Chains A and B, each alone.
Chain A
Amino acid sequence: MTKVTYIDSSGQARTVEAQVGSTVMETALRNSIPGIEAECGGACACATCHVYVADEWTEKVGKPSQMEEDMLDFAFEVRPNSRLSCQIKVSEELDGLVVTTPAKQG
């Protein structure tokens, strides 16, 4: 099983098991991780599953697509390592991934 760690804005970390092929957003909801709303249910249409990818993971996770980049305009406090977690698919390569959730999804 692959693992994903979510750190909330206060610094608390939660590590959960993630299914390969599921998204970082789905994994968060399944494990009741706070700080991810996913209002649209994963359609890349709302920007309420915004996360910051830990620096050491940004290269492996990759850059957002054009559509995701457009949707990030609706998020707040966007940084170079911002991604929408519904667009990050868990793979074996991402085992150990660390993401931080923002203080507010908007």
Chain B
Amino acid sequence: MSEVFATDVAIVGAGPIGLFSVFELGLLDMKSHLIDILPKAGGQCAELYPEKPIYDIPGFPIISGQELVDNLMKQIHPFGPKFHLGEMVESLKVLGTDQRPLFRIGTDADIVIEAKAVFIAAGGGSFQPKRPPLAGLDAFENTSVFYSVRKMEHFRGRRVVIVGGGDSALDWVLNLHPVASRITLIHRRDAFRAAPHSVNAMRALVGAGAMDFVLGQVTGVKGENGQLSALTVRKESGDVFDLACDVMLPFFGLTMKLGPVAGWGLNLHENLIPTDTEKFETSMPGIFAVGDINTYPGKLKLILCGFHEAALAAQRAFHYVYPDKKLTFQYTTSSTSLQRKLGVG
């Protein structure tokens, strides 16, 4: 059974703009839920450049990606947003009308969120595993090529090839070693980014003849009906050989893809979502797009522009959430009611 939540606004993406949307919505008495595929809030700021200084956030001559995220989390705390992390938004059902929108969003973790408005703040898209550019690879994906391990039992007694040199690759070498019939690690160089103790443990297994390590790169896949039979591997020496196997687990990091949102029926332009510049609403009433994911004449992919977009989109969302209420514009510096919401009044 799916777990069902009801809220005012569902925010897709917990990067800086998704987080600040909580603030702007919260000032207008709208509650929100955020969904993000990453296991933590912060989006690219936290995942790609947590330590990198940003110089163009108004009021901060210099601030790191992680500091910005930490500050935003503090800023939205009074509004008690609910986070659904490590989940990918998949489905969207339109339940309401254009005047009174109501949406039902489903995630891959079987969570359902009903909301009166949706903010897509998905940045460059959702972080997804990089797929090696091997001809014919897609025929084997999810049958004998996997980018994550959900059930270790699935690999029992099978010949497993793991490709990569980071923590994911090394961790799965060590975890699957007792389960698989044979593990082979393929990496392009004899140096690893992974934790030294994992590397040492792997080398000990190789030394004991309990697994194999191949210095090289995968250049082809072989098999039929979705069942892998061998990988073509080019060794560092230039020699090419076929390595018989049942399963391949490539770990080449993450890339950003628009993902299932592309199938929601919104107008798209080169994987971006066109919006107006008054409300930042998409072609579907009640669905807004803010931050790097949207496009309009003059669009700049800057965090500060995303903040502005979130503020304006929240004004329009108010009318969907509270169709009978009048919205009066107020400043946090002087409005006692806003200050009460922020817990400072």
Contacts and interface: CB of A to CB of B under 8 A. Distances in A.
Interface of A: 39-40, 43, 45-48, 69-70, 72-78, 103-104, 106
Nearest to A75: B252
B130 A74 contact: yes
Contacts, number: 49
Given A40-B48, A43-B49, A46-B48, A106 B133 contact: yes
Interface stretch (B95-103, B111-119, B187-195, B274-282): B187-195
Given A39-B256, A73-B164, 12 more contacts: A40-B48, A40-B49, A45-B49, A46-B253, A69-B191, A72-B188, A73-B166, A73-B193, A73-B253, A76-B132, A77-B133, A106-B131
Given A39-B255, A43-B48, A46-B48, A106 B187 contact: no
Nearest to A77: B217
Interface residues of B, number: 22
B165 interface: yes
Contact of A106 (B124, B164, B193, B252): B252
Nearest to A102: B133
7 contacts: A40-B48, A43-B49, A46-B253, A73-B187, A78-B188, A78-B217, A106-B252
B164 A48 contact: no
A73 B130 CA distance: 12
B52 interface: yes
B168 to A, nearest CB: 11
